[in-house]
């Protein structure tokens, strides 16, 4: 599932962009140093392929619903994890930019959720080991299914954590989790089946495509050291950002560069303690964790705020409308001239 901007807080968004950038920089270096130039157009068309293939829904028997391919695992099998990661990132970027599927600030999060876990964890540490013994149809099926399901579960879990830390939903942790994980289990099953079907076909007809990237450890090998160091850097960045925002900020995790007006200032001191306490609460996973940030926020809402908001809206749309009319008039004047 693609994260939206509105579901993230600046802290989480920035931290994940930072993590994304780290992973992308590392992958770029790997791709450019180890590989043939012909990878470049291959990555591009594979990206377009995954994009188009996502439009093919197939019917899941007995459920009447349909599913489609996600792509991370398939790309890793064909391209190797580093190239696959960059390709996934570019697909997600185009989805965010041109199709409003996922936000711009949330792009970093999406690249991690949908790219990192599949390419750097599911593929090298679940799929490959499962295929080590024998590369045949049955193994392919099992490995593909397992890797897809686990990869997507990790991604879904990340979404839950990110949204919760961002604090934009009132859903308690367990409720959210119970909402997300089963859905992504189903999606993972579909992805696994689909990846298996396609890879089996390719392997039967043109095995050299699979084996060349699979056996080439320079391409497909992801050392534990590199993944661990990537995760460590990301964790430091994330932790750093989140705690910096939390501690230096009387409004808690929300970013606020300035003190807000009047009434909120009075509560500022009490705030810091409230906020740190609730930060503890938020990050602790309690069964009945609930998020009721009633005192911390700037509730300047009152009737006047709403009236003011309404007027602002009217003024803004009038302005926009006015510009429109002015432009149209200019055009017809020019045409008549």
Partner 1 sequence: MSNITKSSQNLRWMDNQSDKNTIIHRINPVIKLVVSLIYIFTIISFDNYSPERLIPFIFYIFIVSSLAEISLIHLLKLSAVSLPLIIGIGIFNPIFNREVAYYIGSIPISFGMLSFCTLFIKSLMTVISGLLLVATTGINNLGMALRKIGLPKIFAVQIMLTYRYITVFMEEVNTTLTAHSLRANNKGVSYKSYGYLVGNILLRTIDRSQKIYEAMCLRGFHGDYVTGKNPKINKTDIIYLAVWSSLFIFIRYYNLSQIIGNLIIGEF
* Given 63, 133, 248, 294, the residue binding partner 1 (CB under 8 A): 294
Least distance (Å) between residue 301 CB and partner 1: 6
* Given 16, 18, 19, 47, the residue binding partner 1 (CB under 8 A): 47
Which of these ranges, 119-127, 214-222, 235-243, 304-312, lies near partner 1 under the rule CB under 8 A? 304-312
277 in contact with partner 1 (CB under 8 A): no
194 in contact with partner 1 (CB under 8 A): yes
Q: Which of residues 92-121 bind partner 1 (CB under 8 A)?
A: 93-94, 96-101, 103-105
The DSSP string of 32-73 is HHHS-TTHHHHHHHHHHHHHHHTT--EEPTTT--EE----HH
Q: In b/e form, how buried is each residue of 89-104, taking b as 16+ CB within 10 angstroms? A: bbbbbebbeeeeebbe
Structure-token pair, residue 167: 């604090």
Least distance (Å) between residue 127 CB and partner 1: 18
330 in contact with partner 1 (CB under 8 A): no
Least distance (Å) between residue 113 CB and partner 1: 13
In 10 A of CB 297, how many CB atoms? 14
Locate tokens 């009447």: which residue? 64
Please give the Cα distance from 165 to 259 (Å, whole number): 22
163 in contact with partner 1 (CB under 8 A): yes
Beta bridge partners of 182: none
51 in contact with partner 1 (CB under 8 A): yes
Beta bridge partners of 66: 59
Q: Which of residues 257-276 bind partner 1 (CB under 8 A)?
A: 257-258, 260-261
The DSSP string of 263-315 is HHHHTHHHHHHHHHHHHHHHHS--TT-----TTTS----SHHHHHHHHHHHHH
* Given 4, 73, 149, 234, the residue binding partner 1 (CB under 8 A): 4
Choice between 42 and 231, CB closer to partner 1: 42
Choice between 129 and 319, CB closer to partner 1: 319
Total binding residues for partner 1 by CB under 8 A? 115
């Amino acid at each position: 599932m693609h994260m939206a901007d509105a579901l993230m807080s600046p802290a989480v968004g920035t931290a994940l962009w930072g993590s994304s950038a780290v992973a992308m920089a590392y992958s770029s270096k790997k791709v450019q140093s180890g590989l043939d130039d012909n990878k470049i157009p291959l990555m591009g068309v594979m990206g377009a392929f995954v994009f188009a293939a996502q439009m093919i829904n197939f019917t899941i028997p007995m459920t009447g619903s349909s599913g489609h391919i996600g792509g991370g695992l398939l790309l890793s099998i064909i391209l190797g994890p580093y190239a696959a990661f960059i390709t996934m990132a570019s697909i997600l970027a185009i989805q965010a930019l041109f199709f409003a599927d996922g936000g711009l600030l949330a792009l970093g999060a999406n690249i991690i959720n949908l790219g990192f876990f599949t390419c750097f964890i599911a593929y090298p540490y679940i799929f490959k080991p499962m295929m080590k013994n024998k590369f045949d149809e049955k193994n392919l099926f099992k490995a593909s299914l397992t890797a897809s399901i686990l990869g997507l579960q990790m991604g879904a879990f990340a979404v839950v954590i990110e949204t919760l830390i961002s604090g934009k939903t009132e859903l308690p942790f367990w409720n959210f989790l119970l909402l997300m994980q089963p859905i992504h289990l189903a999606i993972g099953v579909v992805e696994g089946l689909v990846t298996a079907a396609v890879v089996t076909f390719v392997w039967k007809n043109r095995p050299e495509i699979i084996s060349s990237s699979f056996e080439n450890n320079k391409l497909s090998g992801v050392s534990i050291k590199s993944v661990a160091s990537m995760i460590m850097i990301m964790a430091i960045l994330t932790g750093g950002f989140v705690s910096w925002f939390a501690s230096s900020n009387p409004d808690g995790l929300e970013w606020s560069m300035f003190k807000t007006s009047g009434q909120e200032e009075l509560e500022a001191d009490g705030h810091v303690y409230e906020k740190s306490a609730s930060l503890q609460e938020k990050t602790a996973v309690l069964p009945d964790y609930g998020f009721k940030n009633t005192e911390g926020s700037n509730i300047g809402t009152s009737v006047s705020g709403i009236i003011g908001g309404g007027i602002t809206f009217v003024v803004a749309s009038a302005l926009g409308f006015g510009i429109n009319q002015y432009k149209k008039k200019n055009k017809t004047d020019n045409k008549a001239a």
